[in-house]
């Protein structure tokens, strides 16, 4: 039997995923996620937009250094300065790709770029040629292709293939398309562009109408051989097509698709958990593949059916997507060596022995309160240890009191820029009282936009993972904190967000053209 064509999986969790408000990740967190994507055998990892900031540049560089088996990609607008920056950041990569883009829809060209069609074509060609000076592996995206005029799209794509682009990505940037229409758009492009056989066609769908996965799959049925997607469907606004859904649809319905991915799907759930813990974006319980209920059967009839023959109600096996992977990894008696070995396996790299010692001390403290330590606990612990290092405002002590019939009360001591300050406050609950006491000291006047609590693993001794979103002067930041004590986790999350607000952030958005 002839083997099937390959469907290339291009993960953009670290780039488009990071464009979700508040989902910014540190360099080390990005490396950990990239290592997990590499373990999953993802073909291409889009590690960031190097021109955005020094931090983004360094993250792409660090991922390019750490990853060996996947191609590492950097995004660049069709501008010399962006392309040179991406080329520079990708230097350490074993296999590098530059992804350059320019908008092609009438509204984007007229209102955002203020450029004519001829100018856009010229700039697209120049960008691809410049990127080719760094690597042969160049991808071009006509941004907002889903709302572009067909003939113009054909003209741009033919020109950039001639200039050397080897992947043509068709983005539905605003999530406007409908599956049959988007699939047919991709099919018609492949059919009508004379040199389309010299490039692989890719799709990049946003989820504004909840159709990102359906649109991507429809395009695959019409000849697309690369899908751009993110773990947990993270991404700008309503997000991108979710990697786990695209991959499992293609794998489960091999009777429909004439291509296959080379992914190790057992890495899906651990990677989903890692991304959720690092970004603080929880996964809804009924989310396909990775939600806590995705393989849970509530109704007696279903349970009975599954016990007799699992195929009665299950189309996939939970273990094939990594649900069995949630094993206890460490405990109270684990030593420094076991701790370090597991973190090595998870792709955690410490900058110094001192950082490792700090993380180990935090691990011992956690293990005293929680018997079984899972990978998810380790990810939360490592992220938190890294934050602790550069905090302007640190938690020194916290007491919170709640008793039936009495007003909850909290007293907190913080070290603010090296000086200790204490305050106490009452509130609607112990968390509210704690936040009021913090504000009493810091007086940030930031607006609390979101407060959410999730348990990292199962059981009542699980760590609670709190996400706090603060807004001030148009800037939105997310803070995360985890602890077996929810009030403590909440204080940590609030302080983490406050510390981010203190540091001015100079970061360009890839789709804002300047």
**Site residues (vs ligand KIV, CB under 6 A):** 16, 101, 141, 143, 171, 173, 204, 206, 510
Q: Which does 143 bind (CB under 5 to 8 A by kind): ligand KIV, Zn ion, none?
A: ligand KIV
Closer Cβ to ligand KIV, 141 or 499, answer by number: 141
Closer Cβ to Zn ion, 141 or 271, answer by number: 141
Closer Cβ to Zn ion, 16 or 158, answer by number: 16
The secondary structure element, H or E, covering residue 168 is strand 167-172
Q: How far is the CB of 360 from ligand KIV (least distance, A)?
A: 39
* Size of residue set near Zn ion by CB under 5 A: 1
* CA count, 13 A, side-chain hemisphere, 112: 16
Q: Is 46 in the site for Zn ion (CB under 5 A)?
A: no
Closer Cβ to ligand KIV, 148 or 454, answer by number: 148
Query: Which of 347, 345, 276 is closest to 32 using CA atoms?
Result: 347
Q: Is 208 exposed, middle or buried (0-12, 13-18, 19+ CB in 10 A)?
A: middle
Q: How far is the CB of 220 from ligand KIV (least distance, A)?
A: 17
Given the rule CB under 5 A, which of 13-21, 311-319, 418-426, 499-507 is the region that contacts Zn ion?
Answer: 13-21
* Binding mask of the shown chain, residues 194 to 233, with x at each position contacting Zn ion by CB under 5 A: ----------------------------------------
> How many residues are given for the chain?
514
Asked if 490 contacts 481 with a C-beta cutoff of 8 angstroms, the reply is yes
Report the SS3 class of residue 242.
strand
Q: Which does 242 bind (CB under 5 to 8 A by kind): ligand KIV, Zn ion, none?
A: none
Q: Is 245 in the site for Zn ion (CB under 5 A)?
A: no
Asked if 383 contacts 398 with a C-beta cutoff of 8 angstroms, the reply is no
- The DSSP code for 233 is G
Closer Cβ to Zn ion, 82 or 384, answer by number: 82
DSSP 343-398: HHHTT---SSHHHHHHHHHHHHHHHHH-SEE-HHHHHHHHHHHHHHHT-SEEEEEE
Closer Cβ to ligand KIV, 205 or 289, answer by number: 205
SS3 content of the chain, % helix, strand, coil (to 5): 45, 20, 35
Closer Cβ to ligand KIV, 208 or 391, answer by number: 208
Report the SS3 class of residue 186.
helix
Q: How far is the CB of 171 from Zn ion (least distance, A)?
A: 6
Q: Which does 350 bind (CB under 5 to 8 A by kind): Zn ion, ligand KIV, none?
A: none
Q: Which does 36 bind (CB under 5 to 8 A by kind): ligand KIV, Zn ion, none?
A: none
Q: How far is the CB of 34 from Zn ion (least distance, A)?
A: 19
Alpha-carbon separation of residue 337 from 35, 39, 340, 342, 344 (angstroms): 21, 22, 5, 9, 10
Closer Cβ to ligand KIV, 107 or 361, answer by number: 107
Asked if 27 contacts 54 with a C-beta cutoff of 8 angstroms, the reply is no
What would you report as the CA-atom Rg of the chain, rounded to the nearest whole angstrom? 24
Q: How far is the CB of 77 from ligand KIV (least distance, A)?
A: 8
Q: Is 16 in the site for Zn ion (CB under 5 A)?
A: yes
Applying CB under 5 A, which residues contact Zn ion?
16
């Amino acid at each position: 039997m002839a083997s099937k064509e390959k469907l290339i999986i291009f993960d953009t969790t670290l780039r488009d995923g990071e464009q979700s408000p508040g989902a910014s990740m540190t360099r080390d967190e990005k490396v950990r996620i990239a290592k997990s994507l590499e373990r999953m055998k993802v073909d291409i990892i889009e590690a960031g937009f190097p021109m955005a900031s020094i931090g983004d540049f360094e993250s792409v560089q660090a991922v390019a250094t750490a990853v060996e088996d996947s191609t590492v990609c950097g995004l660049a607008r069709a501008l010399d300065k962006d392309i040179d920056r991406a080329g520079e950041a990708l230097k350490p990569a074993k296999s590098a790709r530059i992804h350059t883009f320019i908008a092609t829809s009438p509204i984007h060209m007229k209102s955002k770029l203020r450029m004519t069609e001829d100018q856009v074509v010229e700039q697209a060609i120049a960008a691809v040629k410049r990127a080719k000076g760094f690597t042969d592996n160049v991808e071009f995206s006509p941004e907002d292709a889903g709302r572009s005029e067909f003939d113009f799209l054909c003209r741009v794509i033919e020109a950039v293939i001639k200039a050397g682009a080897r992947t043509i990505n068709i983005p539905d940037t605003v999530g406007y398309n409908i599956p049959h229409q988007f699939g047919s758009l991709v099919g018609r492009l492949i059919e009508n562009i004379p040199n389309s056989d010299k490039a692989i066609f890719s799709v990049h769908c946003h989820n504004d109408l909840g159709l990102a996965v359906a649109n991507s799959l429809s395009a695959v049925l019409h000849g697309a051989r690369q899908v751009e997607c993110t773990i947990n469907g993270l991404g700008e606004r309503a997000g991108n097509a979710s990697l786990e859904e695209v991959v499992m649809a293609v794998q489960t319905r091999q009777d429909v698709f004439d291509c296959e991915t080379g992914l190790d799907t057992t890495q899906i759930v651990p990677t989903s958990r890692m991304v959720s813990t690092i970004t603080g974006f929880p996964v809804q319980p009924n989310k396909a593949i990775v939600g806590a209920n995705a393989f849970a059967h509530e109704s007696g009839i279903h349970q009975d059916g599954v016990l007799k023959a699992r195929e009665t109600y299950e189309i996939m096996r939970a273990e094939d997507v990594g649900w069995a992977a949630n094993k206890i990894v460490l405990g109270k008696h684990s030593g420094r060596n076991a701790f370090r070995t597991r973190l090595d396996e998870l792709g955690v790299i410490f900058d110094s022995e001192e950082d490792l010692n700090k993380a180990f001390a935090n691990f011992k403290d956690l293990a005293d309160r929680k018997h079984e330590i899972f990978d998810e606990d380790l990810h939360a612990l490592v992220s938190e240890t890294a934050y602790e290092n550069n905090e302007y405002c640190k938690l020194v002590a916290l007491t919170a009191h709640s008793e039936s019939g009495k007003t909850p009360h909290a007293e907190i001591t913080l070290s603010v820029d090296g000086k200790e300050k204490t305050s106490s406050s009452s509130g609607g609950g112990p968390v509210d009282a704690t936040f009021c006491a913090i504000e009493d000291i810091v007086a940030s006047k930031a607006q609390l936009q979101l407060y959410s609590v999730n348990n990292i693993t199962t059981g009542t001794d699980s760590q609670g993972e709190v996400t706090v979103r603060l807004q001030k002067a148009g800037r939105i930041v997310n803070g995360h904190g985890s602890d077996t004590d929810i009030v403590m986790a909440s204080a940590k999350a609030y302080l983490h967000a406050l510390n981010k607000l203190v540091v001015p952030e100079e970061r360009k958005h890839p789709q804002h053209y300047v």
